[in-house]
Chain A
């Protein structure tokens, strides 16, 4: 008796969880997401560089904020995605969870590195120094090193199943750094300013600056989403290719 899976429409979780289903629904999304990302960057950069005022204290250097803040938000946000994926590996043994962690790690490392570089280049003219070993910057550097550690661990293991569990534990331990990054500016005396936008309360920024910041944050967010989708798809294909190569090697063996 054959089971006709096509006749029974899978629920949303099955569609998300099953690699084959994921490949099917994610494929038509890649190009529209890439288009939307490009559009958001064009409009966002227009406002960030041409149609927003200089800050009354920082002058033109405030324009670095429009790339520094979005990359820093992504640095933390991507880690949250990876921590959820790690839970998916350890608790639910979700078939896509390992792939979700592995695909995100290099992108997280990239955006953390870019936030460090842009922050450093913003710090020199505004604070007078490229770097200070204070709570925010040190915890953010640790986040960068954790990302690099996860990327290195994924490369170190031959068996992706075993790697997935070890890296999931490492990812969850590393997640302890995320609240430290977030609240470091409240817990310790620091050169770094506190949050300028509190979604629940006041904001300390003019609309003329909030608009480019919001657009650029959306642009970077969609950039990550697009790259992440392609990376997850690539990783699924890579595992299929590796499985086929093993199959071919096994059938060729005498």
Chain B
């Protein structure tokens, strides 16, 4: 185990905070993407189509 010296708590605390923040952001981004994709798929499953669907402009 690496010896972080007398200020280990500050180093571990900083890395822990950044890890929690980054993992939280990843989970949130993935969760949000899946939620929105699910909502769009549900609307399309009801037969609702975008008026512009079929052209490349959206």
Chain A, residues 124-140, CB within 8 Å of chain B (1/0): the string is 11000000000000000
Q: By the criterion CB–CB under 8 Å, are B25 and A241 in contact?
A: no
B58 → chain A, closest Cβ, in Å?
A: 4
Is B29 touching A54 in the complex (CB atoms < 8 A)?
Answer: no
Interface contact B14-A117, CB-CB below 8 Å: yes
Please judge, given known A-B contacts A118-B18, A231-B29, A247-B48, whether A64 and B11 are in contact too, CB under 8 Å: yes
Taken together as a complex, chains A and B put the C-alpha atoms of A244 and B40 apart, in Å, by: 8
Q: Is A199 an interface residue (CB 8 A)?
A: no
Rounded to whole angstroms, the CA-CA distance of A223 and B25 in the bound complex is 10
Task: Tell which of B11, B29, B43, B56 touches A61, judged by Cβ atoms closer than 8 Å.
Answer: B11
Give the B interface residue count (CB, 8 A): 37
What bracket does the count of chain A residues touching chain B fall in?
35 or more
Q: How many contacts between A and B, using CB within 8 angstroms? A: 109
Instruction: Name the contact of A114 in the complex, choosing from B18, B29, B32, B40 (C-beta under 8 A).
Output: B18
List residues 35-58 of chain B with CB under 8 A from any CB of chain A.
36-37, 39-40, 43-44, 46, 48-51, 55-58
Scan B1-44; emit 1 where CB is below 8 A from any A CB, else 0: 01111111011011101100110011001101100110110011
Q: A18-B58, A118-B17, A241-B39 are in contact. Are A63 and B25 (CB under 8 A)?
A: no
Q: For B13, list chain A residues within 8 Å (CB).
A: 121
What residues of B have a CB within 8 angstroms of the CB of A118 in the complex? 14, 17-18
Q: Are B36 and A107 in contact (CB under 8 A)?
A: no
Interface of B, secondary structure class, is helix
Is B10 a contact of A121 with CB atoms below 8 Å? yes
Q: Is the CB of B7 within 8 A of A117?
A: no
Nearest first, the 10 A-B pairs at minimum CB distance are: A125-B7, A20-B58, A60-B5, A121-B14, A118-B14, A244-B43, A241-B40, A234-B33, A5-B56, A64-B14
6 further interface pairs, Cβ-Cβ under 8 Å (given A59-B5, A231-B32): A19-B58, A61-B7, A64-B14, A64-B15, A68-B14, A122-B10
CB<8 Å pairs between A and B, sample of 28 = A10-B56, A18-B56, A50-B2, A59-B6, A59-B7, A60-B4, A60-B5, A63-B4, A63-B11, A64-B11, A67-B18, A106-B25, A107-B25, A114-B21, A117-B14, A117-B17, A118-B18, A121-B13, A122-B14, A124-B10, A230-B30, A234-B29, A234-B36, A240-B40, A240-B58, A244-B40, A244-B44, A245-B43
